Amino acid sequence: MVVGESGLGKSTLINSLFLTDLYSPEYPGPSHRIKKTVQVEQSKVLIKEGGVQLLLTIVDTPGFGDAVDNSNCWQPVIDYIDSKFEDYLNAESRVNRRQMPDNRVQCCLYFIAPSGHGLKPLDIEFMKRLHEKVNIIPLIAKADTLTPEECQQFKKQ
């Protein structure tokens, strides 16, 4: 799962990590999409490497943190994660469990805007709400635009 404000490079990082184009060319970039609410979008990508196939599910959250009032903007993310846990529990409770897909969210890459002022209240609240449900990996977005000293200072804040 990737979460963060629009324009922080979430899609670019995923495309670079998995050497794939997650979105079709017709998919509008963050500056062309206007979302009024947080949505949860799921994409599946088949990755083949060294004779091993992996069906990777990428969960994106367009609209996260983009509103003027971001109170409870994490709720659709929490609801999505909880629904995947519930689906897995229901599948585990069945008599026939041979084909039990695991669609739970394994990790959340949380993109932090490189504002120079440290974490925003939204960043802190989001991580507090989700840390018991999923592994969170905080990433300083666009860190390559910062000097090494600025990056160190940002990490300390």
Give the domain ranges of the chain: 2-156
- Exposure class string for 112-150: b at 16+ Cβ within 10 A, else e: bbbeeeebeebbebbbeebeebbebebbbbbeeeeeeee
pLDDT at 17: 86
pLDDT at 3: 93
pLDDT tens track for 31-64 = 555 555 678 888 888 888 889 998 889 999 888 8
- Paired tokens of 115: 């504002």
d(Cα 43, Cα 110) in Å, to the nearest integer?
18
pLDDT at 146: 83
CATH domain 2-156 topology: Rossmann fold (3.40.50)
